[in-house]
Copies of this chain bind each other. A is one copy, B any other.
């Protein structure tokens, strides 16, 4: 594995990890923008814009875009989160140049009015679909409640109203200010010729105009408020619990991820044995989500209305015990192994490596090999977990529940 980088004069970062044994190659455009960078007036624009990039350029229509990826045999997609919009593709090594060229085209989209108006309906359907998915909806609403007026609480999808009100002019302005080259990292992974690819990217993206781009990244400990939404058509209680955790820039993020796995991995965790194995809940998970400058532990639990109080009592007991007795060596080893296994399986192919490579650069301006990540996870000790528990004292939450009735028992 060889790491390479080249920063263009306009600020665009090109980074690569070359693996001559790989049978494929992958490229990703990591744009450092998401719902946290939106004003209320343009809520949902990052995600909507991601859709619009696939509608093509002045030279390429929507079907031609699809056809161009297909001709290269590309596996490609994109996603938008609170703080990133990422476009990526994996291909056979011979086609990496062409697929990268295609993305550089798409990164300067036409944003045609007719496509914009048609796509509004697709976005509104997506909003409706997610609202009808309680496990998603409760986390989305919980996150808004937790982050309150902090920008990390902004909805990725936006609302029907914000999407209806959005104009293509607003989207163009957002695009110009956020898809600035100094706000984009182009990552390459797998079997490819670095010099050739770096030159190709420089040639095509070097002319993009640099804008002044900023992002506020204050830490935030969360509102710790409590809310309930009643939805009569539901059969189950959906519970979201959120408490503060470490940011992507915090070296304790490996320990926090291990702690999340010990408490709330979908199987074999404390939640699992106390809630799922005892049939109090059907699902109970917790994980640490580290972000730019802040972070949070998210729990999602689904249970019957009858069990709601017992579930809250059990969660309280789990965290009381955790704060008093910390964790033991056996569960630490098991959690580390599970994280390592998922990490290695994911990073075995260039497409998986690409995501780690890109995000390490976006958040840390740093190259990290899989080996370094493995070492850092293996180094997490009971003491590290202890000091994390001592610092965050987990067990006090922002709480959002979604369920069929009015029942509001004593919550943890």
Interface of A toward B, CB cutoff 8 Å: 21-24, 63, 66-67, 69-75, 90-92, 95, 265-268, 272, 276-277, 334, 337-338, 340-342, 344-345, 347-349
- Interchain CB contact under 8 A, A342 and B277: no
- Interchain CB contact under 8 A, A345 and B265: no
Return the chain B residue nearest A351 by Cβ: B345
Measured between beta carbons, the chain B residues less than 8 angstroms from A67 are 267-268, 272
CB distance from A328 to the nearest CB of B (A): 15
- Interchain CB contact under 8 A, B24 and A345: yes
CB distance from A23 to the nearest CB of B (A): 5
- Interchain CB contact under 8 A, B24 and A73: no
CB distance from A22 to the nearest CB of B (A): 7
- Interchain CB contact under 8 A, A344 and B24: yes
Return the chain B residue nearest A95 by Cβ: B341
- Interchain CB contact under 8 A, B73 and A338: yes
- Interchain CB contact under 8 A, A73 and B22: no
- Interchain CB contact under 8 A, A268 and B70: yes
A-B contact pairs, 19 of them (CB 8 A): A22-B348, A23-B345, A23-B348, A24-B345, A24-B348, A63-B277, A67-B267, A67-B272, A70-B266, A70-B267, A71-B334, A72-B341, A73-B345, A90-B345, A92-B340, A92-B341, A92-B344, A345-B349, A349-B349
Measured between beta carbons, the chain B residues less than 8 angstroms from A22 are 348
A147 to B399, CA, bound (A): 55
Measured between beta carbons, the chain B residues less than 8 angstroms from A95 are 341
A150 to B349, CA, bound (A): 42
- Interchain CB contact under 8 A, A21 and B23: no
CB distance from A79 to the nearest CB of B (A): 19
Return the chain B residue nearest A338 by Cβ: B73
Measured between beta carbons, the chain B residues less than 8 angstroms from A90 are 345
Knowing A22-B348, A267-B66, A349-B348, the reply to whether A342 touches B71 (Cβ < 8 A) is no
A147 to B262, CA, bound (A): 51
CB distance from A408 to the nearest CB of B (A): 31
Measured between beta carbons, the chain B residues less than 8 angstroms from A71 are 268, 334, 337-338
Measured between beta carbons, the chain B residues less than 8 angstroms from A341 are 72-74, 91-92, 95
Knowing A92-B340, A276-B63, A340-B92, the reply to whether A345 touches B75 (Cβ < 8 A) is yes
- Interchain CB contact under 8 A, B277 and A340: no
- Interchain CB contact under 8 A, B268 and A73: no
- Interchain CB contact under 8 A, A73 and B267: no
Lowest 7 A-B CB distances belong to which pairs?
A: A73-B341, A70-B267, A70-B268, A73-B338, A23-B348, A67-B268, A66-B267
Measured between beta carbons, the chain B residues less than 8 angstroms from A91 are 341
Measured between beta carbons, the chain B residues less than 8 angstroms from A72 are 341
- Interchain CB contact under 8 A, B73 and A23: no
Interface-central residue, A23, A90, A347, by most chain B CB under 10 Å: A23
Measured between beta carbons, the chain B residues less than 8 angstroms from A74 are 341
CB distance from A365 to the nearest CB of B (A): 27
CB distance from A350 to the nearest CB of B (A): 8
Return the chain B residue nearest A276 by Cβ: B63
Measured between beta carbons, the chain B residues less than 8 angstroms from A73 are 337-338, 340-342, 345
Measured between beta carbons, the chain B residues less than 8 angstroms from A266 are 70
CB distance from A337 to the nearest CB of B (A): 6
- Interchain CB contact under 8 A, B24 and A21: no
- Interchain CB contact under 8 A, A338 and B70: yes
- Interchain CB contact under 8 A, B267 and A344: no
A75 to B345, CA, bound (A): 9
Measured between beta carbons, the chain B residues less than 8 angstroms from A276 are 63
